[in-house]
Chains A and B, each alone.
Chain A
């Protein structure tokens, strides 16, 4: 039960983080479309790091 609440919290946190990353990346791409490739790569890397964090927490909790 507590596991599930914890998982929910992790997902909320991760979702906020991913939203921030994605939103900012979109903004930057809109501002500088010529740098889209680099921004995308950086976005994916940071997203992956965040994902690792969230999954780590989920696995430790499960």
Chain B
């Protein structure tokens, strides 16, 4: 049995190695149609880590052909709301293509949409490659991240409402996908919410905690698929999640919590205002900030490492040869991807755990003082 497993593993490894080396040969014969130099790879990774307005599959540099899937752009400009498909930009990301909608002239620059100032016809740049005659617009587009979130929301609604319907039908034990989801729900309830918030009060926060847990987890996992999502690596997304947590625990704080935060009993009078400032800053700024930065940095770092390791097969080709570099990058990328699967769960767990911990701190009632 074990030998068979090993055989399968080796067979797959050899097959993948050969197929990739064949691919490598091909690229050697046709230089210029893929990302090749270290600089290009860096740009490519940087581009991936950002949000984008289309699903991009590949580009043929020689013919300039792009294979991608456009997404709708919805922007609020000085001249009102403008909507169009992102294909109008023709995959330009350097402010070259100008889309005219009424009076508004829009360009896309580093995955952001800018509106040109009145009278300007081309984008002018300063030394740091910042545009001087254009400004950002409020971008409510269905970007890749928003699309990912909608997809996640849909998946969650489908999966969990199926589980809920199963219970309503009278199945005491869930069927199908519910068998996986139910233990996770119980895990969040019994191991995250109850110990941190307390038996009496946890029920009120379950909706938020469960939603956030599965939302983050599914988005993290989605980021590991080749679809190229990096939703939880967007600082706006994690900031929104962290602010939700902060708002919830600040608004559900008990009298005791505010008393202990603002006028800590049992310490000398002189220290009380200082402590109040420290606690307040901690609860209002530092805790949400650490929440948002942790998730963002973990996911960004994960994507960065996986992509860099995949890129090894190009950057190391010169020094090690196609087969060795491909094999190395494959093994390392596989290894890191396995760790990333763990991290995807761990970050969702930690976000939910710390959220419930902070909520627990806020709603806790002290018996005697």
Contact = CB atoms under 8 A, between A and B. Distances in A.
B263 interface: no
Contact of A56 (B195, B289, B298, B349): B289
B71 interface: no
B316 interface: no
Interface string B332-369: 00000000000000100110011001000000000000
Size band of the interface chain B makes with A: 10 to 19
B297 interface: yes
A53 B350 CA distance: 14
Given A44-B346, A58-B297, A59-B297, A52 B291 contact: yes
Contacts of A51: 294, 298
B290 A49 contact: yes
A19 B159 CA distance: 39
B293 interface: yes
Contacts, number: 36
B294 A48 contact: yes
Nearest to A56: B293
A52 B293 contact: yes
Contacts of A52: 289-291, 293-294
A25 to B, nearest CB: 15
A45 B297 contact: no
A27 to B, nearest CB: 22
B346 A55 contact: no
Nearest to A53: B290
Nearest to A51: B294
A55 B296 CA distance: 9
Interface string A6-18: 0000000000000
A55 B297 contact: yes
A15 to B, nearest CB: 15
A45 B357 contact: yes
Interface in A5-62: 41, 44-45, 48-49, 51-53, 55-56, 58-59
A56 to B, nearest CB: 5
Nearest to A45: B353
Interface in B256-295: 289-291, 293-294
Contact of B293 (A41, A44, A45, A55): A55
Contact of A48 (B191, B195, B289, B354): B354
Interface of A: 41, 44-45, 48-49, 51-53, 55-56, 58-59
